[in-house]
Structure 1
Amino acid sequence: MIGNGEGKSTLSYLKWAFIFTAIGLVLGAWLGWQTTGTLSGMATVFFICAVLAVLEISLSFDNAIVNANKLKDMTPVWQHRFLTWGIIIAVFGMRIVFPLLIVVIAARIGPFEAILLAAREPAEYARIMNDAHLPIAAFGGTFLMMVGLTYFFNHEKDVHWIGFIEKHMARSATVKGIEIAFVLLLILVFSNLLEGEDANTFVFSAIYGLLTFLAVEVVGGLLDASQKAMSEAAKGGLGAFIYLEVLDASFSFDGVIGAFALTQNLFIIAIGLGIGAMYVRSMTIMLVDKGTLAEYRYLEHGAFYAILILSVVMYCQTLVHIPEVITGLGGATLIGISLWSSIRYNKRERAREIHGDLHGSDRVAAHLGERA
C-alpha cells in the first residue's frame, strides 16, 4: 500500500500541496509583476492563480475518488510511479504540453512557435484554443461517458445508491456492448443538433474518444495480463497506469479550456491548474491510505455520477456555453450528497448492530433465567 493512514491527520496529507501552493502563488505574483510592473497587476495574477486552483480542485475531486478506486488495487511499485511520474505528466503534460499541442496541430506551427505565440500573442493563442473546443469536448465527453457507464453497467455490481436506476443498469449489463450503443445513440442525437462541418467534427472526435477508451481497455488488459502471468504480485501495473493517465487527461480538458475564460496567459494557467492537480494527488493518497472508499460505500457512486454529468455537460458545451463554476459545483454537490448518504447508512448499520446485541443479551438472560 501507499502508506499507513492510521494516526495521520488530513493536514499531513496536504503538506506538499500547501508547499506547492505557496511556491505557485509566489511565482504567480512574480509573473504578474514582470508582465504588468504594477502592484494591482501582481495582485490580479495572484488572485487568478488562486481561483484557477479552486476551479481545478472542484472539477477534479471526482477524479481523485476514481484514481483511488483504481490505485488501491495497484502494486506498491506502480502506486509510487503513478504518484511521481503521474503527477509530472499531469502538471506539465496536461497543463502545459497539451494546450501547446492543440495550437501546434490547429495552427500548423512548430512547438517553439507555439510557445512564442503564447508569450507574445496570448489573445491569438486563446482564440485558437477556443476554436478547438468542439472536438476536445466531443472527445473528452465521450471518454468520460464510457468511464461512468462502464461502472454502472456491471452485472457484478451489488451495492446500489440510487437503486431504481442502478439495479436496472446492472441487470442490463448482461447485454454486451449496451453502454457503447447508448453512447453512439447520444453522439447521433447531438450531431443532429449541430450544423455542417461542426456536426462532422463532433462525430469524428466523439468516435475517436470512444475508440481511445476501448483501446486503453484492451491494451491495459493485455499489459496487466502479461504482467500477471509473469508474477501474480504484478497485478494492476502498466495497464492501470495508462488508464489513469488517459482518464486524468480527459478530466483536464474542461479545466484547461475553461481557464482561458479567466486569463489568456498559458503560464498563469499552468501555475493555477498545477496547484489544483497537487491537491488532487494529496486527496488520492489520503483516500487510499484511510480506506475512505470502503468506509463510505456510496462515495464512489457520487463520483461516477459526477463523471456522467460532466460528460453530458461537455457535450452540451458544443451547443451552448456552460460556466465551469456550474460544472464544478454540480460534481461537488453530488459527491457531498453521496457522502451524506454513506454516513446515514453507517449510522443505521451501527444502530442495527447495537439493537441486535441488546436483543441477544435479553435472550441470553431469559435463557439463564429459565435454567435457574
Structure 2
Amino acid sequence: MTLQSRSHASALGYFKWAFVVTSAGLALGGWFGWQMTGTIGGAASIFFICCVLAVLEISLSFDNAIVNANKLKDMTPKWQKRFLTWGILIAVFGMRVLFPLLIVVIAAKIGPWQAVMVAASQPEQYAAIMHDAHLPIAAFGGTFLMMVGLKFFFDHEKDIHWVHALEEWASRYSSIRGIEIAIVLVIMLAVSRFLPAGEMTVFIRSAVWGLLTFLVVEVLSGILDMKEKALSGAAKGGLGAFVYLEVLDASFSFDGVIGAFALTQNMIVIAIGLGIGAMYVRSMTIMLVEKGTLSQYRYLEHGAFYAILILSVIMYMQTLYHIPEVITGLAGAGLIGVSLVSSIRWNRKKSRAELQSQA
C-alpha cells in the first residue's frame, strides 16, 4: 500500500504508531529511572526528561518533516516505503545513538567499545567531549543546511513567492552558476573572523567539509536517480533521493543531539526522548504527503525553507554565543506558523475571487 493509495484518514490516525512509541518509550524511561535510582522521584525525573527531549525534537523538526514530504512525494512507492522503514531506523538509532558515539570516537581518538564504556560509566566526560565537538558540528551542519535552503530559493523555475521581493530577486539571479556557494563562503569567512585563531581553522575546515558533502550528495543523488530512471523508465526519485534525505536528517539532528546534553548525559535517555520525537516527524511526513498539504497551503514549504536558513544561521552563531534550544525551536515553528496563516489567507482570497467571477 503506497502513500497515495491510502484513503483519507483523520489527522490523529496518522499518529497512531507515534502514540504507541510514545507510550512504550515513556514507560521504558520511567522503568530505567527506577532501575537507576530505586526511587519514585528518580523515575519521575527520567520520565520528565524523556518528555522534554521528545518535545525538543518535534519543535526542531517541523521543517524537516515538510522538506521530507516535498522530496518523498516524488519518490517511487518502493523507495517511499524504504525511507519510512529503514530511514526511520537509521534516524532513530543511527543519528540518536551511533552518531554521538562516533563523535566521541573521533574527538577522543578511542575505539568504539571504549566510547560505549565512557558513555555508560563516565557520562560527564562523554558530555564534555560532545560539548567540545560542538564547534565543528555546528560549522558542518550549518553549512549543509544553508546550502539546502539557498538551493530552494535560487531556482529559476520557482514561480510562487511568499516574500515576493526577496524571492523574486533570488529567482532572477539563480542563473548565475555557483551563486549559492559564493554566498555561503562569504558568510562562512565573515563568521570565522570573530573566532580565535585555533577555532577559526577548525570552523573553516568543518564548514568546507559541510559544503563538499552537500555537493557530493547532490551529484551522487543525481547519478543514482539517473540509473534508477534508466532501469525503470520512471522519472521519480529512488536511491539518490533516499541518500539525500538521510544526510539531510543527519544535519537536522545535530542541534537536537547537542541540545539534549544540556538536560542529561545518559545516551539511553537521549535515545528514548529523541526517538519519540523522530516518530512524530515520520507521522507528520506521511500526513503531509497523503493529504497533499503542501499543495493545499502554497507558502508552507517556503516557511520550512526559511526555517532551515534561520537554523543554519543559528548554528553558525552558536559557535560564538550560547543560544538556547527553545529559541531555535520557536524560530522555526514560528516561521512555519506564519507561512501557514499566509497560505490560509491566500486560499480565502482566491475563493472569494472565484465566487465573484462566477457571480
Could you tell me the TM-score, scaled by structure 1's length?
0.95
Match of 1:186 in 2: 187
| Distance in 2 of aligned mates of 1:273 and 1:142 | 23
| Distance in 1 of aligned mates of 2:144 and 2:171 | 20
| Runs ≥4 residues deviating over 6 A | none
Match of 1:16 in 2: 17
Match of 1:366 in 2: none
Q: Secondary structure at the match of 1:40?
A: helix
Confirm whether residue 155 of structure 1 aligns to residue 156 of structure 2. Answer: yes
Match of 2:90 in 1: 89
Identity, in percent, stands at: 68
Confirm whether residue 129 of structure 1 aligns to residue 142 of structure 2. Answer: no
* Aligned counterparts, 1:130-145, within 5 A: 130-145=131-146
| Distance in 2 of aligned mates of 1:277 and 1:197 | 35
Kindly provide the CA deviation profile for residues 17-58 of structure 1, in whole angstroms up to 9, marking residues without a partner as x: 000000000110011111111111110000000000000000
| Distance in 1 of aligned mates of 2:203 and 2:38 | 43
Kindly provide the CA deviation profile for residues 148-207 of structure 1, in whole angstroms up to 9, marking residues without a partner as x: 000000011000000011000100101111000000001110111101110000000000
Match of 1:174 in 2: 175
Match of 2:102 in 1: 101
| Distance in 1 of aligned mates of 2:6 and 2:190 | 47
Contact 1:20 1:275 in 2 (8 A): yes
TM-aligned CA deviation for residue 5 of structure 1? 5.3
Contact 2:61 2:281 in 1 (8 A): yes
113-122 or 16-25, larger mean C-alpha shift: 113-122
Q: Secondary structure at the match of 1:233?
A: coil
Confirm whether residue 283 of structure 1 aligns to residue 274 of structure 2. Answer: no
Is there any run of 5+ residues in structure 2 with no aligned partner, and where?
none
Length, aligned pairs only = 358
Q: Secondary structure at the match of 2:61?
A: helix
Kindly provide the CA deviation profile for residues 295-344 of structure 1, in whole angstroms up to 9, marking residues without a partner as x: 00000000000000000000000000000110000100000000000000
Q: Secondary structure at the match of 1:14?
A: helix
The residue type paired with residue 29 of structure 2 is G
| Distance in 2 of aligned mates of 1:139 and 1:7 | 40
| Distance in 2 of aligned mates of 1:75 and 1:6 | 19
| Distance in 2 of aligned mates of 1:296 and 1:3 | 18
Q: Secondary structure at the match of 1:151?
A: helix
Match of 1:217 in 2: 218
| Distance in 2 of aligned mates of 1:235 and 1:219 | 15
| Distance in 2 of aligned mates of 1:282 and 1:4 | 16
The residue type paired with residue 49 of structure 1 is C
Match of 2:114 in 1: 113
Match of 2:326 in 1: 325
Match of 1:32 in 2: 33
The residue type paired with residue 301 of structure 1 is H
The residue type paired with residue 155 of structure 1 is H
* Aligned counterparts, 1:194-343, within 5 A: 194-233=195-234, 235-343=236-344
Match of 1:49 in 2: 50
Contact 2:69 2:288 in 1 (8 A): yes
Match of 1:72 in 2: 73
TM-aligned CA deviation for residue 234 of structure 1? 6.0
Match of 1:369 in 2: none
| Distance in 2 of aligned mates of 1:263 and 1:301 | 34
TM-aligned CA deviation for residue 355 of structure 1? 0.3
The residue type paired with residue 228 of structure 1 is K
| Distance in 1 of aligned mates of 2:154 and 2:130 | 34
TM-aligned CA deviation for residue 115 of structure 1? 1.0
Contact 1:5 1:290 in 2 (8 A): no
Contact 1:6 1:290 in 2 (8 A): no
| Distance in 2 of aligned mates of 1:190 and 1:225 | 38
The residue type paired with residue 265 of structure 2 is Q
312-321 or 186-195, larger mean C-alpha shift: 186-195
TM-aligned CA deviation for residue 6 of structure 1? 4.1
Could you tell me the TM-score, scaled by structure 2's length?
0.99
The structure with more radius of gyration:
1
| Distance in 2 of aligned mates of 1:274 and 1:83 | 14
| Distance in 2 of aligned mates of 1:233 and 1:181 | 34
Q: Secondary structure at the match of 1:184?
A: helix
The residue type paired with residue 192 of structure 2 is S
| Distance in 2 of aligned mates of 1:80 and 1:59 | 24
The residue type paired with residue 146 of structure 1 is M
Contact 1:67 1:284 in 2 (8 A): yes
